[in-house]
Amino acid sequence: MIETNYLVIGSGIAGLTFSVKIAEKFPNRSIVIVTKANEDESNTKYAQGGVAVVLDAEKDSFKKHIEDTLIAGDGLCDTEVVKMVIEEGPKRLEELMLWGANFDLDASGEFDLGKEGGHSEYRVVHHKDITGYEIERALLKRAHQLPNITILPHHFVIDLVTNHHIIDDTSKNISCYGAYVFDQKTDQIFTIKANSTLLASGGIGCVYGHTTNPIIATGDGIAMAYRAKAKIKDMEFVQFHPTALYEAKGESSFLISEAVRGFGAYLRNKKGYRFMPDYDERAELASRDIVSQSIDSELKKSGEPHVYLDCTHLDMDAFKKHFPNIYNKCLEHHINIETDWIPVVPASHYLCGGIEVDKNGSTTINNLFACGECTRTGLHGANRLASNSLLEALVYAHNIFKFHSEHDYQAPNVLIPDWDDEGTVIPKEHILVQHNLKQMQALMRDYVGIVRSNKRLKRAIKHLDLIENEVEELYKESKISTSLCELRNMINVSQLIVEQSLKRKENKGGYFNIDNVKD
């Protein structure tokens, strides 16, 4: 067993920012960061667009950014939270730069601000088209300089330890005492006992086979928190990014940043018709929910598998400077964007809901905090404004740090039993997990996509329950494996998405159900 002051689950922007801040301020407190892949593998690393921050006081204002966020969120944002996050933005960005993150400047030495869907002004700070990669690099570098931070890569958190694991626990409120952790290299399971635990475990893209997220985005933190009985909210608001690179064979999709549309690219159907102005006066720069739903409608009309993003009219020298990663990735796919249109299709990208937290990142479970994409803070409402998510993670990591600076959590006085896997065996048939995974992803894609209906959702829940029964049976009899635990987590997350979708009786933002359309 390891004992620590702070257990942080996840090594993206949220987990690292909190860890660095607390480690700097309290050199005698220990922080253990557990992450299931390489230490830099996270949704953060793949963020292209950037961080939305108001920096140009002449053209932009907090008021405009707040308004844009509220409009994108379609009436379901928490206005106080929106205000707090946006007004904190510049300070948090400055801190990130002090830790060594670099952002692009223009010829006059000012920030080269980008624009994305739903933004009324240029305000997206970026590092070429690999902003997340740069942030992750800088944060990890700083974390490694701090001796009270220990990072455990290739360690998978199976479950949070809460009262129900503790024999003779009589407390009425649920508390978190740490987690059971699986060392993927040695196959050992051990306990980390923590005074305070932070879930910073990222998103859920992989519940849909077709996603811009890396393969680690399996909703582990949300599923664990749900099993521990934390409140989970707004799961119906899955955001589909309008322009993932279409790959006829592959499932996982490379993102063509929304900043490319901000740079002037057009969406066209197979006939070459630029269709977005027919759907919204902001055309390609309408918010993401509207662009994705419009593409979905074009695809249903034409029966085609994708639409196109046309960059051929753009200044190519500037494009290559701004988007070198996208330019080269397209070339790898034999698409020369100087002459060819890029085939694109919407893909699952971001979850606006998640573990409910207050302004300090507190969940509904004692000693359990959450930060980043796994949370529902109230910032995004029914649809996240582009590039608001890295900002949210920075601001909430700071708030959680501040809260912990004022509240010194003590070691829990409980005896945590070891993980019990008596009677379990190494599963002989890996195909069972693979088959259930494919079934789940297919039904999420076909029944719980951009456009939903009550009939499809009800069918989805029935099938998910059957898959869940099979997987739970396998889980009870098998030695722990990451793939089985991830599948179990994804099923829980899928069930939450479907159940909460069925409860929403009004279409809002990224949620569209044909049965909610009034005649």
Give the separation between CA 189 and CA 182, rounded to whole angstroms: 4
**CA–CA distance, 64 with 130 (Å, rounded to integer):** 26
Regarding 259 and contact with ligand SIN (CB under 6 A), the answer is yes
Cα–Cα distance, 140 to 44 (Å, whole number): 12
Decide if 232 contacts 356 (C-beta within 8 A): yes
Distance of CA 439 to the CA centre of its chain: 23
- The verdict on 125 binding ligand SIN (CB under 6 A) reads no
> Which segment (68-76, 170-178, 385-393, 480-488) binds ligand SIN by CB under 6 A?
385-393
For the record, the structure tokens of 101 come out as: 């993150």
Q: Which residue from 387, 478, 481, 482 is in contact with ligand SIN, where contact means CB under 6 A?
A: 387
Alpha-carbon distances, residue 486 vs 26, 385, 490 (angstroms): 34, 28, 6
Phi–psi pair at 50, nearest 5 degrees: 150, -155
Contact between 375 and ligand SIN per CB under 6 A: no
Task: Record the tokens describing residue 461, joined without a space.
Answer: 């829940």
In Å, how far are 103, 166, 272, 343 from 334, measured between CA atoms? 30, 57, 20, 11
Q: Which is nearer to ligand SIN, 350 or 511 (CB)?
A: 350
Q: What single letter denotes the amino acid at residue 90?
A: P
How far CA 399 is from CA of 84, 365, 403, 446, in Å, comes to 11, 18, 6, 39
Give the nearer residue to ligand SIN in terms of CB position, either 257 or 377.
257
Asked if residue 258 binds ligand SIN (CB under 6 A), the reply is yes
Site for ligand SIN in 304-363 (CB under 6 A): 350
292 binds ligand SIN (CB under 6 A): no
Q: How far apart are CA 504 and CA 517, in angstroms?
A: 12
Site residue total, ligand SIN (CB under 6 A)? 10
Alpha-carbon torsion 317, 322, 325, 326, what sign?
negative
Comparison of 163 and 257: residue with beta carbon closer to ligand SIN: 257
**12 touching ligand SIN, by CB under 6 A:** no
49 binds ligand SIN (CB under 6 A): yes
Question: At its nearest, how many Å lie between ligand SIN and the CB of residue 47?
Answer: 6
What is the DSSP-derived secondary structure letter of residue 167? T
Task: Give the amino acid at 288.
Answer: R
Residue 43 binds ligand SIN (CB under 6 A):
no
74 part of the interface to ligand SIN, by CB under 6 A: no
* Residue 50 or 412 having the CB closest to ligand SIN: 50
- Find the part of the chain contacting ligand SIN (CB under 6 A) among 316-324, 329-337, 386-394, 423-431: 386-394
Considering the rule CB under 6 A, would residue 35 count as an interface residue with ligand SIN?
Answer: no
User: Toward ligand SIN, which CB reaches closer, 325 or 362?
Assistant: 325
Binding to ligand SIN by residue 257, rule CB under 6 A?
yes
Choices 171-179, 257-265, 271-279, 452-460; region in contact with ligand SIN by CB under 6 A: 257-265
Whichever of 49 and 202 has its CB closer to ligand SIN, that residue is: 49
Instruction: Report the chain's terminal Cα–Cα distance, integer Å.
Output: 61
504 included as an active-site residue: no
Give Cα separations from 384 to 82, 133, 284, 289 (angstroms): 11, 21, 16, 9
Give which of 393, 406, 497 is closest to 452, Cα–Cα: 497
Instruction: Give phi and psi for 252, each to the nearest 5.
Output: -75, 140
User: Using the rule CB under 6 A, which residue among 287, 294, 363, 389 binds ligand SIN?
Assistant: 389
Catalytic option among 261, 288, 384, 488: 288
Q: Quick one: 66 or 484, whose CB is closer to ligand SIN?
A: 66
| Shortest separation between residue 258's beta carbon and ligand SIN, angstroms | 3
Pick the piece of the chain touching ligand SIN (CB under 6 A) from 171-179, 251-259, 312-320, 332-340: 251-259
Binding site for ligand SIN (CB under 6 A): 48-49, 255, 257-259, 350, 386-387, 389
The residues that are catalytic are 288
